[in-house]
Structure 1
Amino acid sequence: IETYNATFYDEIKGFLTNGVVQAFLIMIIVGGIYFEIKTPGLGLPTAIAITASIIYFTPLYLQGYAQSWEVLIFVLGLILIVFEIFVVPGFGVTGISGIFLVVSGLFLALIGNINFDFQGIPPYQFNQAVLTLIAGLGFGVGFIIFLSSRIGKKGAFRKVALLADQEGYYSVPMEPDALVGKTGVAATVLRPSGKVIVDGEYYDAVSDKGFINKGDEVVVRRYGSFQLYVVKVKE
């Protein structure tokens, strides 16, 4: 009888495929995607989400649970979300489709199907995958609410609080309704996200219609998703 001793590599794989760890990674992925959607162009949330995704999928792929096409579904979902953030102003069908593919990829990687054959999946394994996904998404929502409540002095959902300190950009919390209808100037190119100056302060903004060049006069149409939505003033 030969005794198999688990190697350090095996222990790492076992740790990363633990349901609790997987739920935690899903939480990080969801949180990273959410905050990148809410603050387009920041980059850090995307980097965190991608790192968590690699840690999530790699051991599942090596263990034979995650199929290549399931990883591709997830990647395609991320691409659609990025396209929605940086190319298409607002948030619509492309972004929703991307989120659906991302969640589908996360779930399918857990159930251990063989290619497109789902017949031989044990019920306990399917149920565990469902619980892991629900837990990860639930923790993700809680993480988003918790972190959002810390943004700004009185909460990101009640105030505009833009905390970027790069290149001298800053702003102070103020009521969103006070900015709607005001005119300002594009401090950077908006493609569609960027910076605008309104009443002498810098704010994160998204173009509601097309690209806006630096220096163009803009008017604030609405506030949502922690940022201003502006359009170019017609000449």
Structure 2
Amino acid sequence: MPIEYTFLLAGVVLLAIELVIPGFGIFGMAGMACMTIGAFFVMGGGLTALVILLGIYLLFGLVIAFLCLYLPKESKYNPFVLWTQQKNSEGYTGGRDLTALLGQKGRALTTLRPAGTILADGKRLDVSSLGDYIEKGTSVTIVKVEGSKIFVEKTEE
């Protein structure tokens, strides 16, 4: 088998390996290099073959550049981008302000070890105790609020 066809075959094999075993592109780059060398020799070598190969690679690069610029703007080609915008004049709004719950008393609906659920003012709230184990049915008081986290302590009846 002539050397140019050996290079072409090696390039195809290396590109197939790159498709099956994803890596850092080593097999892919080696495959492209082998195919380029093989194509250069199949076309007879010389300046004409070099100009044709450079033209092909330049065209290939322009197509990739065009696709990189155009495709991200089309949602059908990029399912990982949320294309709708939130129409809210206030901007981002976090969770509701829970500081009004401070001092409220409630009853543990589940065992708090340390997280669980309480019933306070007719509402079920997910809470954490301040590290204590609190039995189900125990009276508790909300003593601390940090963002969306509510902390309770056992109260004496």
TM-score interval for Structure 1 and Structure 2 normalised by the shorter chain: 0.3 to 0.5
* Greater share of helix: 1
The TM-score normalised by the length of structure 1 is 0.30
Normalised to the residue count of structure 2, the TM-score between the two structures is 0.44
Larger radius of gyration: 2
Q: Relative CO higher for 1 or 2, CA cutoff 8 Å, sep ≥ 6?
A: 1
